[in-house]
Structure 1
Amino acid sequence: MPHVVAVSRDGTHRFSKVPTEAITLIEGIGVLGDAHAGTLVQHRYSARRDPNQPNLRQVHLIQSELFDQAREQGYELGPGDLGENVLTAGIDLLTLPEGTLLDLGGPVVRLTGLRNPCVLINRFRPGLLKVVLARADGTPMGRAVPDEPRPDAPAVIRRAGVMSVVERGGEVVPGAPVTVTLPDGPHVAMEPV
C-alpha cells in the first residue's frame, strides 16, 4: 500500500532537510516553515534567472526505493538527505504523468515535474549523482545535464524525485496513505522543473 515514510523541512536553503514528526502544507504556498515555500519560485538558481515565475517546486517528493538503489551502490541515505519534503514507499512517482494528484492522507499535491539533479548531489556525497542521473541506454552520468542538451545524445533518466504544488493543505505525517488520481488523458510525461 503506498504510504508516506517520512517528512522533512528546513527554513534555510541547504541541500538536506531536517526530518520531523509532521509537516503542514499550505494551499498554493508549500510546506509551512520551509525555505522553498511561496507562490513565486524559491529555488535559488531559478530565482536568479527569473524571480517572477510561479513556484512549481513547493513540495519535493522522493520514493524510498531510490534509497535502496543507492545503498546497493554503496551510498547510505536517510530521510531528508536529498532535500525531499516527503519520502514515499510503494509508488513509482517517476512514471506518473504531469498533473497527477497525490492525496497524502488529507492534504493533496499536484505533480508539476521532475527534479533535475545538479552538482550539489555530488558535493553532498561524491559520486552520488550517477545513482540519480543516467542516459536511457543505462550509462550513469557523473555530472549534471547542461541546460541545452545535445539533440543527438541519448535521453536522460532523472531519479531524484518529483516536484509538486499544494492543491489542498493540511498536516502530513509518516504512515499516511498515498492515494493517486491520474489526470484526464492524454497523459503528458513529466519534464524537469
Structure 2
Amino acid sequence: MGKLVAVCTSKRKGERKKNVGTVMLLKNLGLEGDAHAGFAHRQVSLLALESIQKMRDLGLDVNPGDFAENLTTQGLDLLKLPVGTRLKIGRDVYLRVTQIGKECHTRCAIYYQAGDCVMPKEGIFAEVLRGGTVSVDDEINPYPRYRFAVITASDKGSQGEREDKSGPLLQEMLLPWGDVVAYHVVPDEIDKLGELMRKLADEEKVDLILTNGGTGLSPRDVTPEATLQVIDRIVPGIPEAMRQESLKITPKAMLSRGIAGTRGKTLIINLPGSPKGVRENLQVFLQVIDHALEILTGRGGECGN
C-alpha cells in the first residue's frame, strides 16, 4: 500500500518544488497554484522516494521536490503502472497515468552533479480525473479500471431527431472509475433493449450498464420491463435510494419505475432520461460504486464496515 510523503509546488517552472503538505488538486488542471498545472496530459508529476534514494546513494543531498515532482510516493512501484492506470488518493481524488518518464531537453544541476537524474526515467505523469484535497500521509494506490456501457433509450434520439445529452454526461461522470467502452442510442423497444443488454453483459463483459430514459409512465417507457427480462437478481436498494433522494427535490420522483439488478458479473441500473435526473440519481450510486463493483467482479474483499 502506497502513501504520499510529500506534496510539492512551485510558482515558477525550472525550479525545485517545496513540500507544502496539503494542496487542492483541480480536475483537468493539476495542483492549485503550481507552475506546471494545466500542461495538457502532464498535469501532475509523481516520483517515488525510492528513486530519490538512488540519487542519495550517489552522494547527493536531495529531497522530495528537488526533482520538480508534485507528488512523492513511498511503497508504490510507479514504473510498473501502465499508461491508463487509475490512482486513487485518499477518499476523493482520482488520477489517470498518462506518461512514463520524459525527455529532458536541457540538463539540470542534478545531472551535472551526479552524471544522471532519475526523473526522466522513473518519474511518471498523470491527469486529474476527480479533484479534491491531498495531504502528506494520504494513501495512494492503483484502482481497478472498470468497463462501462451506456444505453440511451429514446425513440427520437435513435432517429436523430433529438440530441442525447444524458449519455455524454454519464461518460463524463464515470471517468474516475473507468472507461465507457460502449455507447448506444436505441428506440424504446423491449426486444432491442434486452438484446443489447445481453450482448454487453455476456459477450463484451462490461462491469456496469447504465440505461437512461424509458422509466416513466408513458406506454413507450419499457426500459424496466426489458431489464427484468435480462437480470438474474434484483438489487432493489439502488433504485430505492435514488428515489428517496429525488423525492427531496420533486414529488414526481415517485413516478419513476427504474430498477437495478445483476446479470452474471454485470450490474445494470436504470436512470431517468433527463440530464438533471441522470446527475442527481447517479450521484447517489457513486457513493457505493467502489464497493459494489469490487464485490460483484471479485476484485475486492467483502467487509462488514
Q: TM-score of the superposition, structure 2-length normalised?
A: 0.44
Which whole-Å CA distance do the structure 2 matches of 1:184 and 1:169 have between them?
19
Which whole-Å CA distance do the structure 1 matches of 2:110 and 2:116 have between them?
13
Q: Which amino acid aligns with 1:115?
A: G
Which whole-Å CA distance do the structure 1 matches of 2:106 and 2:17 have between them?
14
1:68 alignment partner in structure 2: 53
Q: Which amino acid aligns with 1:123?
A: A
Instruction: Answer yes or no: is 1:94 the counterpart of 2:71.
Output: no
Which residue, 137, 142, 148 being the options, matches 1:175?
Answer: 137
Whether the 8 Å contact between 1:117 and 1:132 is mirrored in structure 2 is no
1:109 alignment partner in structure 2: 95
Please state how far the C-alpha of 1:117 moved relative to its aligned partner: 4.5
Which whole-Å CA distance do the structure 1 matches of 2:84 and 2:116 have between them?
28
**Mapping for residues 1-193 of structure 1, pairs under 5 Å:** 1-38=1-38, 41=39, 55-105=40-90, 106-118=92-104, 120-128=106-114, 130-132=116-118, 158-159=121-122, 161-183=123-145
Please state how far the C-alpha of 1:9 moved relative to its aligned partner: 0.7
Which of structure 1's runs of 4+ aligned residues deviate more than 6 A? Answer: none
Which whole-Å CA distance do the structure 1 matches of 2:32 and 2:107 have between them?
25
Please state how far the C-alpha of 1:125 moved relative to its aligned partner: 4.9
Please state how far the C-alpha of 1:96 moved relative to its aligned partner: 0.6
Q: Which consecutive residues of structure 2, in runs of 5 or more, have no partner in the other structure?
A: 148-305
Which whole-Å CA distance do the structure 2 matches of 1:128 and 1:164 have between them?
27
Instruction: Note the alpha carbon deviations across 1:8-61, whole angstroms, 9 max, x for none.
Output: 1112113311210211100111111011112xx3xxxxxxxxxxxxx0110000
Q: TM-score of the superposition, structure 1-length normalised?
A: 0.68
Q: Which amino acid aligns with 1:19?
A: N
Please state how far the C-alpha of 1:122 moved relative to its aligned partner: 3.4
Whether the 8 Å contact between 1:117 and 1:129 is mirrored in structure 2 is no
Which whole-Å CA distance do the structure 2 matches of 1:110 and 1:130 have between them?
28
Greater relative CO (CA pairs within 8 A, separation 6+) = 1
Which whole-Å CA distance do the structure 2 matches of 1:6 and 1:104 have between them?
13
Q: Which amino acid aligns with 1:15?
A: E
Whether the 8 Å contact between 2:111 and 2:117 is mirrored in structure 1 is no
Q: Structure 1 or 2: larger helix share?
A: 2
Which whole-Å CA distance do the structure 2 matches of 1:11 and 1:131 have between them?
22
Which whole-Å CA distance do the structure 2 matches of 1:28 and 1:56 have between them?
9
Identity rate, percent: 32
Instruction: Note the alpha carbon deviations across 1:105-161, whole angstroms, 9 max, x for none.
Output: 12111100023152545324524452428xxxxxxxxxx9xxxxxxxxxxxxx22x1
Count of residues paired in the alignment: 146
Larger Rg: 2
Q: CA RMSD in A?
A: 2.2
- SS of equivalent to 2:35: coil
Whether the 8 Å contact between 1:99 and 1:182 is mirrored in structure 2 is no
Whether the 8 Å contact between 1:82 and 1:121 is mirrored in structure 2 is no
1:48 alignment partner in structure 2: none
Which whole-Å CA distance do the structure 2 matches of 1:127 and 1:180 have between them?
34
Q: Which amino acid aligns with 1:110?
A: R
Whether the 8 Å contact between 2:89 and 2:139 is mirrored in structure 1 is yes
